[in-house]
Amino acid sequence: MQSIISTFHLDIKILIAQLINFAVVIWVLYRFAIKPLNKLMSERSQTIEKGLTDAKSNAETLSKTKEEYEKALREAQKEASDIFTKAKKEAEVKKNEMLEDAKKEVAKTLAQGKTALEEEKQKMLDDAKKELAGLVTSATEKVLTKGISEKIDSSIIEASVAHFK
């Protein structure tokens, strides 16, 4: 044993020094490299796992939403076309109604106008007659005062009136 110690210069102090060296290495590697890296790596794999499941559910939601959207779109289109046809029909009916109304109105207005015109015309004629008669009378009076016979007078009147008729 003594020969081994002397051959290899076994020295308990150096052995302890090397133990301390190694202890430092273990502590540093474990505390600052292995532990945090292992933690980080497991955390990262968890994150990736979560990300993958999230992505999967997201894709599912997306396709579901797309389906729903397309369905809603189809329904809306159908509804819109229904409404459109209905509105078209209604508009057609309304248009016809309005046309009818307008025609009636026009006819009515026309008729009214016609009667009014007729009335006006009649009135004007009557007025004219009256005025004419007055004029003729006054004129005749003026002539008569100058010595024309009543016979002539009335004949003239009648003639002039007839002329106006």
Binding site for another protein (CB under 8 A): 7-11, 13-19, 21-22, 24-26, 28-30, 32-38, 40-41, 43-44, 47
C-beta closer to another protein: residue 18 or 96: 18
Phi, psi of 143 (to 5 degrees): -65, -45
C-beta closer to another protein: residue 29 or 106: 29
| Distance of alpha carbon 81 from alpha carbon 66, whole angstroms | 22
Taking the complex as a whole, the smallest distance from the CB of residue 42 to another protein amounts, in Å, to 11
C-beta closer to another protein: residue 25 or 98: 25
Cα dihedral: 129, 132, 137, 143 (round 10): -150
Cα dihedral: 114, 115, 120, 123 (round 10): 140
Taking the complex as a whole, the smallest distance from the CB of residue 64 to another protein amounts, in Å, to 31
Distances, alpha carbon 2 to alpha carbons 6, 9, 14, 57, 82, in Å? 6, 10, 17, 74, 110
C-beta closer to another protein: residue 48 or 161: 48
Taking the complex as a whole, the smallest distance from the CB of residue 46 to another protein amounts, in Å, to 11
Q: CA 23 from chain center: how many Å?
A: 79
Taking the complex as a whole, the smallest distance from the CB of residue 40 to another protein amounts, in Å, to 6
